[in-house]
Amino acid sequence: MAKKKAVRPSAAAKPVKAKSAKSAKSAKSAKSGGAWDAVFAPRAPGERRYWLVKSEPEVFSFDDLLKAPKQTTKWNGVRNFAARNFLRDGMRLGDQVFYYHSMSGEPGVVGICEVVREGYPDDTAFDPKSEGFDPKSDPSAPQWFMVDLRGVERLPRTVTLQELKTQSALKAMALLRIGRLSVSPVTADEWRVILDLSQR
């Protein structure tokens, strides 16, 4: 497989506003809730968005992803409704994703992957013993979702959590504001800052 390079977002690339009642209704249906409206808004043609996913390296590391068949894995097992909404309604084919090692000796961003299959029902979504399962929900309707991610490249060096916290340009980053989320959005500006840090 040819190695794909991380794409630096264009400063001019910005989401467009809904141009019709239909697209506005679609954006509203995401049920994002206030702070996350922008990540569910309609996209400009060809627009790519950016995300971050967390995994404990002892459970599934970035190296494990690169060794997987076609360097691809199902990103399943997410049991948080906000993170579920990002997987189901936010991520789109071709979006780039930072891979973050959590709960390790030195947590940080270690690599880049991309979305190669958009949100679809999680294999384990119907387990009534799973955390967060709503017994009143329609059993025929999936409650949890996953995407497929493919490894793109390892960063030149790990950008640690401590480094991220020192950057004023990252002070509003979802990772730093709501650390418990296993899937979170990254703005184009935040993406550029972290890529630059990885080159130092």
Torsion of CA 59, 89, 72, 157, to 10 degrees: -70
pLDDT, position 83: 96
pLDDT, position 154: 98
The b/e string for 84-113 (b: 16+ C-beta within 10 A; e otherwise) is bbbbbbbbeeebbbbbbbbebeebbbbbbb
pLDDT, position 157: 97
pLDDT, position 133: 55
Q: What is the CATH number of domain 46-125+140-198?
A: 3.10.590.10
Per-residue pLDDT of the chain (200 residues), as tens digits, is: 444 455 556 443 433 333 333 333 333 434 445 678 899 999 999 999 999 999 999 999 999 999 999 999 999 999 999 999 999 999 999 999 999 999 878 999 999 999 999 999 997 645 555 555 565 666 678 899 999 999 999 999 999 999 999 999 999 999 999 989 999 999 999 999 999 999 99
Token pair 């840090």 is found at 197
Measure CA of the first residue to CA of the last residue in the chain; give whole Å. 27
Q: Where are the domains of the chain?
A: 46-125+140-198
pLDDT, position 20: 38
pLDDT, position 29: 39
CB-based burial of residue 1 (10 Å sphere; 0-12 exposed, 13-18 middle, 19+ buried)? exposed
Question: Structure pTM?
Answer: 0.80
Task: Provide CB contacts within 8 A for 172, sequence distance 6+.
Answer: none
